[in-house]
A and B are shown apart, each in its own frame.
Chain A
Amino acid sequence: MPTITYIDHDGGERQIEAKNGETVMETAIKNSVPGIDADCGGACACATCHVYVDEAFMEKVGQPEEMEQSMLDFAENVQSNSRLSCQITVSDELDGLKVTTPESQH
């Protein structure tokens, strides 16, 4: 099972064993990782699961699709490595992925 590391805005780290096929958002919610709200449950409707992807994984994670990108454009404190974690599906390739959660999703 791939391991994902969630880093909160204070630098606190949590390593979580993720399931292939679930999203980075779902993995966080089910394991009570703070910093991700995911109000819409993964429908790409609310932009409250914003994370920063570790630069080393940017290529493997890939680029957001148009819908996600336009949601991200309006997120607070957006950076070039911003993604909505409900749109990143866990796979073996992402083993070791590190994402940082923002201070607030609203």
Chain B
Amino acid sequence: MDLSSAENIVVIGGGQAGAQAIQSLRLFGYEGHIALVGDETALPYQRPPLSKAYMKGEMAEDRLYFKPAAWYEDNKVETLLSQRVEKLDRSAREVRLEHGGHLPYDALIIATGSRPRALPVEGMDLKNVFDLRGLADVEHIQPKMIPGQKLVIIGAGYIGLEAAAVARQLGLDVTVLEMADRVLARVTSPVISEFYQDLHKEHGVDIRLGARLDKLKGEGGTVSHAVLAGGEEIEADMVLAGIGIVPNVELAADAGLAVKDGIIVDEDARTTDPRIFAAGDCTVRPLAHYARTGRLESVHNAIEQGKLAAAAIMDKPRPNIDCPWFWSDQYDIKLQIAGLSQGHDTVVVRGDKAAKKFAAFYLKNGRLIAVDAVNSPPEFIASKKLIMTGAVIAPDRLSDTSTSMKEIAAAAA
């Protein structure tokens, strides 16, 4: 469907994907009306620093914003902040707002993102129990980031571990509770998990593996202890939950769009309604290099799908599809991840783990499908390209540091 003559475009969600879609629409020459509906009070901002430099107090708030307020005026983007969409009426082609009013659309972009999975335990409503997703969460957390305070983090995923690193550097006592038998169990291999366990121990974090949280206990309505299934009570002045996210698919599902653990979209970020696109955490998309579909919780994905949706609406050539990539900063360690390691049959380690400079490559049937690069940008960048071309590389060549990544990449090209 050619939508390039659209006069009204509505974007639901003011995160990275929504912000990118708007910028790309203007870049691709769209001159009609744009309405951005967001349920936060702030204009679109970067989320990654919230658990890193911004949380640590090393980054001023104004540096979080993608664009200054004037940009939205100059680019004639109507920003409807602190507003939620109640219903998507596809037959009337309009979006109904919770507090009244409706917005007509010729094309619609759903970028509703995701929300933190709620702690399924008693006591989650106690004071000083927080999620970490938005700027408002950090505003609650930051004043309590005081040396000597006892912080208990539930979940050793990236968010939990990044927050643990920041808190330790700010002098808090930090305990991390993880149900699995290793950290980052859902997203990486044992070799990387072990490295991060050691790193956090070295910095004084008490990491409890195989720890099942039974409940949170409070005194006078404020959290005081995390209670484990075995009965052990761990003192807590503050609890942070980082146990994963849930995609916000309800609007799309209620409107009858195809949804399965995410809003199903095609290569152009188009949903099952040709006028409706979806971008970011809330989607299930084709994974170009993996012959399957999946949900990607990442900046790369939000940017790429925002661009894809804008290009499709404006009938422009489809932008390049990149290899999925991610990063995590903890202490002075930068982890860069390219590709998706799910389904690998071989792990090859290159570099020096003790020197905190190494990479784990993931192969499937001899082909490189992913890399976790610890303080190793060449391994990351070279792999991005090698993964996209489906390069077959011998494991002993990958592990041999006397051959540079440049040489390996050149030989595989």
Contacts and interface: CB of A to CB of B under 8 A. Distances in A.
Contacts of A106: 320, 322
B71 A40 contact: no
Interface string A57-70: 00000000001001
A80 interface: no
A70 B377 contact: yes
Contact of B67 (A30, A34, A45, A73): A30
A46 B329 CA distance: 13
Nearest to A47: B381
A45 B380 CA distance: 9
A30 B66 CA distance: 7
A41 B299 contact: yes
B63 A22 contact: yes
Interface in B298-340: 299-300, 303, 320, 322, 325, 327, 329, 334, 336
A79 to B, nearest CB: 16
Contact of A45 (B336, B378, B405): B336
Contacts of B49: 41, 43
B334 A44 contact: yes
Contact of A43 (B48, B300, B378, B406): B48
Contacts of A47: 377, 381
B375 interface: yes
Nearest to A45: B327
Interface in A18-46: 22, 26, 29-30, 32, 34, 39-46
- The listed residue with most B CB atoms (<10 A of its CB), out of A22, A39, A45, is A45
B68 interface: yes
B334 A73 contact: no
Given A40-B48, A45-B334, A45-B336, A70 B299 contact: no
A67 B334 contact: yes
Interface residues of A, number: 21
A44 B327 CA distance: 10
Interface string A92-106: 000000000000001
B391 interface: no
Nearest to B74: A32
A11 B52 CA distance: 37
A43 B322 contact: no
- The listed residue with most B CB atoms (<10 A of its CB), out of A22, A42, A67, A74, is A74
Nearest to A73: B378
Q: How many B residues touch the partner, as a band?
A: 20 to 34
Majority DSSP secondary structure for residues of A touching B: loop
A22 B66 CA distance: 13
Contact of B327 (A34, A40, A73): A40
Interface string B109-122: 00000000000000
B382 interface: yes
Interface in B343-382: 375-378, 381-382
Interface string B289-302: 00000000001100
Nearest to A22: B63
Given A43-B329, A73-B378, A106-B320, A32 B46 contact: no
A51 to B, nearest CB: 17
B71 A32 contact: yes
A67 B335 CA distance: 12
B299 A67 contact: no
Contacts of A39: 299-300, 303
Nearest to B384: A74
A31 B405 CA distance: 36
Contacts of B406: 73-74
Given A71-B381, A74-B381, A43 B68 contact: no
Contacts of A46: 325, 327
A45 B52 CA distance: 13
Nearest to A70: B377
A30 B68 contact: yes
Contact of B378 (A29, A40, A70): A70
Contacts of A32: 67, 71
Given A40-B327, A74-B381, A74-B405, 12 more contacts: A30-B68, A32-B67, A41-B46, A41-B49, A42-B63, A43-B49, A45-B334, A45-B336, A47-B377, A70-B376, A71-B381, A73-B406
9 contacts: A29-B66, A32-B71, A41-B299, A46-B325, A67-B375, A70-B377, A71-B381, A74-B378, A106-B322
Interface of B: 27, 46, 48-49, 52, 63, 66-68, 71, 299-300, 303, 320, 322, 325, 327, 329, 334, 336, 375-378, 381-382, 405-406
